[in-house]
């Protein structure tokens, strides 16, 4: 009886053991490729809506003033310095054009002189001319 009583006490004193869940393994998130990221971004963009609502036209349509726009454009170009740059470029173009025309005149005069010399002096001696007598500047 004594042994039976000890067994009964042992059984009653036993505590119930709770089952423990095994720890969940941490999963590493797989890196997405650039193509996947782009595709996901495109999907998100396609889901968005840019609705503003119904657009009601105004009863009085605004009219553009050409004079005011010209004044505003002039003010902006003055403020940014674009007008000064344009004037400087135009001056340089004019200077280049004048230099080009003077060079063309000098070339024409030289060709005329060479042609005259070839016609007039086919057997004669060559005359030397000093630089001061030449009708153009070097």
Q: Per-residue pLDDT for 114 more than 60? A: yes
Does residue 49 carry a pLDDT above 60?
yes
Mean pLDDT of the chain: 82
Instruction: Please name the residue ranges forming H helices in 24-134.
Output: 34-47, 66-80, 82-120
Q: What percent of the chain has pLDDT over 70?
A: 88
Q: What is d(CA 78, CA 75) in angstroms, rounded to the nearest whole number?
A: 5
**pLDDT digits over 68-112, tens only?**
999 998 888 888 888 888 888 888 888 888 888 888 888 999 998
pLDDT tier, 46 (very low <50, low <70, confident <90, very high otherwise): confident
- Measured between alpha carbons, how far is 23 from 25 in angstroms, rounded to an integer? 6
The two three-digit tokens of residue 104, written as one number? 């063309």
More confident position, 53 or 26: 26
Find the mean pLDDT for residues 4-28: 81
Phi, psi for residue 15 in degrees, rounded to 5: -100, 145
pTM beyond cutoff 0.75: no
CA gap 14, 20 in Å, rounded: 18
């Amino acid at each position: 009886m004594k042994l039976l009583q000890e067994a009964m006490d042992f059984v009653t004193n036993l505590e119930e053991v709770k089952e423990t869940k095994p720890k969940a393994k941490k999963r590493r998130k797989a890196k997405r490729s650039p193509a996947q990221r782009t595709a996901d971004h495109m999907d998100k963009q396609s889901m968005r809506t840019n609705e503003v609502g119904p657009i009601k036209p105004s009863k009085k349509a605004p009219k553009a003033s050409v004079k005011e726009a010209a004044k505003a454009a002039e003010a902006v170009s003055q403020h940014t310095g674009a007008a000064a740059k344009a004037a400087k470029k135009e001056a340089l173009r004019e200077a280049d054009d004048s230099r080009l025309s003077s060079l063309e005149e000098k070339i024409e005069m030289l060709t005329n002189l060479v042609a005259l010399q070839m016609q007039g002096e086919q057997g004669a001696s060559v005359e030397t001319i000093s630089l001061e007598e030449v009708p153009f500047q070097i």
